[in-house]
């Protein structure tokens, strides 16, 4: 039996774990600096919480958990479709993202929470997607949200957090921003407000398929030719944010919702100027697929790297409504840990100092020397120096290979000679340099 793991899932070896933890810790530090606090939700949610929240495609991609005990009791196979059978024998599913569980959490615990509630959450999610390069069936999301305030200051805070995170990673990014009300304004102007979803879905593809194909898709979705002509200027427009704002102000003369969208964008940009935050790039064709956004929408792209967005989010005015709690506006953004990992890896941006935490290895020369080394090892550890002794008095070459493979920077040698002098030989594994000295001196060197 050759052991393996389910396709689309991964084991993480120490070297990868250390790098992944660097990513999570960097993001966590920024979240906490901006006063967001951690929560966690269970891996399993009731399927009734998850189903219908991610569209038909999403329902299909949920991992469902077989009921315990006699799961077939009372099940009449002949009367059920495959989907009905699945929800009959499975009451629970693995979480698909962190947003729906967060909405469920806010409603369930609303009496205990302080609003505006600022939370972050970094946990794995599971999707029964077809695995491919860079797409996994288990992967981590890092979400930050504030719920219970309509203040546009929060949009600006999310921009600050985003800039700060990617600055910490030394990844140059551009943040693109739009407002769903701009898109609603378009639907209003062409007098097809019920077509807003179709319009968003089509426009969302512009980066991938280009303007002409977006028009073709709009036609397919039964948007009349005249309406498409009205929208067209949107796609030909470029310039600075202020030029775009001027264009939009004119364009939305007759749309209330469009005007609101422009107002919100202007306020966010004004905040940016006042605080000294770099203005995001207003991209009036940015749509983002998700249905629940109602205000600002964000997307982050890494410069100089061929990769889709590495982060995205927006404002939702009624996410908790599906669980019975109205009037809870929130705004949030999600960072893709896996994509950040890939960029840091490809661009060699992982800092050197996040290598192994282990600072020193004592070689093992046999029973007597071992006792001598063990006492010194205790001293290192008392000084919070991560260190170890090779557990067997095997060949020295093997012990040195262990230190090399584990990338331990120092090896400490204590044979007869050192013992006689109450000293130790400290070998720098990078330079090969050796010094014979006391354990107190070694502590000082290793603490540097």
Tokens linked to 83? 């989907």
Q: Which residues pair with 92 in a beta bridge?
A: 46, 65
Name the residue nearer to a second copy (CB basis): 46 or 422.
46
Name the residue nearer to a second copy (CB basis): 10 or 170.
10
Tokens linked to 125? 């999610």
Q: Per CB under 8 A, does 228 bind a second copy?
A: no
Part of the chain binding a second copy (CB under 8 A), chosen from 7-15, 206-214, 220-228, 434-442: 7-15
Between CA 88 and CA 86 the distance in angstroms is: 5
Query: Crossing angle, helix 241-251 and helix 180-189, to 10 degrees?
Result: 30
Q: Per CB under 8 A, does 232 bind a second copy?
A: no
Instruction: Say how many residues touch a second copy, by CB under 8 A.
Output: 100
For residue 139, CA distances in Å to 19, 248, 330, 388, 390 come to 15, 39, 24, 33, 35
Residue with tokens 């030394």: 170
Between CA 380 and CA 340 the distance in angstroms is: 35
Among 392, 416, 417, 444, interactor with a second copy by CB under 8 A: 392
Name the residue nearer to a second copy (CB basis): 148 or 185.
148
Q: Per CB under 8 A, does 55 bind a second copy?
A: no
Part of the chain binding a second copy (CB under 8 A), chosen from 70-78, 308-316, 340-348, 413-421: 70-78
Among 246, 278, 386, 447, interactor with a second copy by CB under 8 A: 386
Q: How far is the CB of 265 from a second copy (least distance, A)?
A: 18
Part of the chain binding a second copy (CB under 8 A), chosen from 56-64, 172-180, 202-210, 425-433: 56-64
Tokens linked to 424? 């130790």
For residue 74, CA distances in Å to 87, 89, 108 come to 13, 10, 31
CB 34, CB 132: distance < 8 Å: no
Q: Per CB under 8 A, does 195 bind a second copy?
A: no
Between CA 134 and CA 163 the distance in angstroms is: 24
Name the residue nearer to a second copy (CB basis): 82 or 303.
82
Q: Per CB under 8 A, does 420 bind a second copy?
A: no
Q: How far is the CB of 389 from a second copy (least distance, A)?
A: 7
Strands ordered across the beta sheet of 360-362 = 387-389, 360-362, 410-413, 424-428, 434-437
Phi, psi of 238 (to 5 degrees): -135, 175
Q: Per CB under 8 A, does 419 bind a second copy?
A: no
Residue numbers 366-385 binding a second copy by CB under 8 A: 370-371, 374-375, 378, 381, 384-385
Q: How far is the CB of 352 from a second copy (least distance, A)?
A: 17
Q: What angle (nearest 5°) sits at the alpha carbon of residue 63, between those of residues 59 and 67?
A: 110
Q: Per CB under 8 A, does 37 bind a second copy?
A: yes
Among 22, 91, 249, 423, interactor with a second copy by CB under 8 A: 91
Q: Per CB under 8 A, does 324 bind a second copy?
A: yes
Q: Per CB under 8 A, does 249 bind a second copy?
A: no
Helix, coil or strand: residue 427: strand
Q: Per CB under 8 A, does 244 bind a second copy?
A: no
Residue numbers 394-413 binding a second copy by CB under 8 A: 401-402, 405-406
Q: How far is the CB of 14 from a second copy (least distance, A)?
A: 4
Q: Per CB under 8 A, does 42 bind a second copy?
A: yes
Among 54, 105, 215, 424, interactor with a second copy by CB under 8 A: 105
CB 199, CB 188: distance < 8 Å: no
- Where would I find the H helices in 325-438? 337-346, 367-382, 396-405, 416-420
Q: Per CB under 8 A, does 90 bind a second copy?
A: yes
DSSP 129: P
- Count Cα neighbours of 392 within 13 Å in the Cβ-side half-sphere: 6
Phi, psi of 51 (to 5 degrees): -65, 140
């Amino acid at each position: 039996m050759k052991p393996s793991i389910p396709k689309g899932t991964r084991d993480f070896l120490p070297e990868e774990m250390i790098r992944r933890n660097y990513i999570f810790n960097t993001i966590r530090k920024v979240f906490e600096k901006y006063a967001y606090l951690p929560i966690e939700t269970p891996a399993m949610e009731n399927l009734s919480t998850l189903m219908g929240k991610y569209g038909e495609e999403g329902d299909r991609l949920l991992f469902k958990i077989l009921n315990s005990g006699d799961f077939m009791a009372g099940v009449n196979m002949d009367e059920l479709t495959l989907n009905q059978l699945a929800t009959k024998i499975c009451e629970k599913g693995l979480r698909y993202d962190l947003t729906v569980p967060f909405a469920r959490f806010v409603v369930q615990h609303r009496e205990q929470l302080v609003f505006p509630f600022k939370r972050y959450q970094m946990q794995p999610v599971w999707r029964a997607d077809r695995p491919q390069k860079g797409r996994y069936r288990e992967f981590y999301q890092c979400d930050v949200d504030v719920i219970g305030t309509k203040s546009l200051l929060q949009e600006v805070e999310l921009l600050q957090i985003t800039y700060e995170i990617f600055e910490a990673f030394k990844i140059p990014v551009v943040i693109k921003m739009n407002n769903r009300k701009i898109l609603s304004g378009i639907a209003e102007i062409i007098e097809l407000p019920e077509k807003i979803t179709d319009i968003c879905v089509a426009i969302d593809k512009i980066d991938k398929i280009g303007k002409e194909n977006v028009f073709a898709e709009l036609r397919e979705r039964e948007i009349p030719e005249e309406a498409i002509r009205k929208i067209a200027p949107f796609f030909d427009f470029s310039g600075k944010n202020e030029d775009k704002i001027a264009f939009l102000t004119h364009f939305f003369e007759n749309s209330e919702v469009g005007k609101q969208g422009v107002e919100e964008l202007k306020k966010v940009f004004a905040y940016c100027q006042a605080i000294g935050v770099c203005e995001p790039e207003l991209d009036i064709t940015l749509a983002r697929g998700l249905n629940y956004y109602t205000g600002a929408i964000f997307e982050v792209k890494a410069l100089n790297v061929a990769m889709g967005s590495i982060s995205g989010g927006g404002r939702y005015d009624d996410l908790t409504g599906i669980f019975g709690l109205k009037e809870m506006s929130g705004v949030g953004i999600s960072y893709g840990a896996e994509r950040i990992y890939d960029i840091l890896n490809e661009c060699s941006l992982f800092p050197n100092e996040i290598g192994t935490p282990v600072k020193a290895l004592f070689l093992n020369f046999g029973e007597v020397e071992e006792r001598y080394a063990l006492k010194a090892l205790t001293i290192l550890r008392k000084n919070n120096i991560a260190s170890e002794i090779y557990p067997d008095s095997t060949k020295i070459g093997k012990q040195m290979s262990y230190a090399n493979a584990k990338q331990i920077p120092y090896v400490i040698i204590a044979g007869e000679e050192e013992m006689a002098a109450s000293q130790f030989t400290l070998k720098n594994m990078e330079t090969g340099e050796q010094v014979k000295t006391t354990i107190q001196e070694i502590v000082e060197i290793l603490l540097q």
